[in-house]
Amino acid sequence: MTHLLASPFPEPAIAVRDLTKRFGAETAVDGISFSVRPGSVTALLGGNGAGKTTTISMLLGLLLPTSGGIWVLGHDMISDRHGALPRMNFSSPYVDLPGRLTVRENLVVYAHLYGVADVAARIKTLAGELNIEALLKKPYNKLSAGQKTRVALAKALVNQPDLLLLDEPTASLDPDTGDWIRSYLKSYQARTGATIFLASHNMSEVERLCDDVLVMRAGRIHDHGTPRALVDRYGRQTLEEVFLDIARGHDRRSTGAGE
């Protein structure tokens, strides 16, 4: 029997220790460590090139780290990622589904890949909840950007994941639909107890949805805390102002503030 290395944190949904990823001479992620509480909504923020996408790719098992460790839902993602993958899912408006398949066909394929028991019932439920019933017979490549975002979210929820990773979950959506999606995600998390880990450039979205925030700069975790704690620590009015300070290298953290 194989004994897997135990997580270094007490039962986190995600645990990362000394995680590094190099591409040749370039260090994209530089020895970061963090943990994500089960049942929380946590944001990973950072400007372009900060290392967010590389970090998420390693969490998903798409990239192997150069060094360090990742544990997801208690499974070592380097040696046992197949133990975690059925219980997690991912959505990004920048990753297209097969375009010639209809929305229903796409959802059927992914439902079978995740071993969903009653595929027809699950698709019916998702279509109703996400208001995509009228799209089920349409080819994916005929959808608008906003419609694709909702379908991609349906794909990400098809297996009712314990851990949902989201990249820009409301990109390309009008304000009303974006607000509806945020409300849906909040209710889904409250109803299921799932952990949500998201990357977003929408700071008001992060302030509304997230319990915790990790901010990356130059491949490292520059700061972390609740949205309110970060705003107070930097003496700012909004999280967007904090983000701009960090992205531009202006460290305005108040002296004596808690870490």
Q: How far apart are CA 254 and CA 211, in angstroms?
A: 21
pLDDT at 251: 74
249 vs 53, residue with greater confidence? 53
Least confident of 13-17, 139-143, 180-184: 180-184
| Least confident piece of the model among 3-7, 83-87, 125-129 | 3-7
Under 8 Å between Cβ of 32 and 221: yes
Neighbours of 158 (CB within 10 A): 24
- Residue 175, both tokens: 């304000």
E strands present in 113-201? 163-167, 195-199
Residue type at position 96 = D
pTM: 0.90
Rounded mean pLDDT, 38-49:
94
Which distant-in-sequence residues (6+ apart) come within 8 Å of 6 by Cβ? none
- Sign of the torsion formed by the C-alpha atoms of 113, 114, 117 and 122: negative
> With pLDDT > 90 as the criterion, what percentage of the chain qualifies?
78
Residue 5 has pLDDT above 70, yes or no: no
Query: Tokens 């923020």 appear where?
Result: 45
Output the average pLDDT for the chain.
91
Distance (Å, whole) CA 103 – CA 98: 9
Token pair of 34 as six digits: 């963090």
Distance of CA 152 to the CA centre of its chain: 13
**Residues 49-70, mean pLDDT to the nearest whole number:** 94
Predicted pLDDT of residue 10: 53
> Burial of 254 by CB count in 10 Å (0-12 exposed, 13-18 middle, 19+ buried)?
exposed
Tell me the β-bridge partners of 102: 139
Yes or no: say if 130 and 153 are a contact pair by the CB < 8 Å rule: yes
Domains of the chain with CATH codes: 14-247 (3.40.50.300)
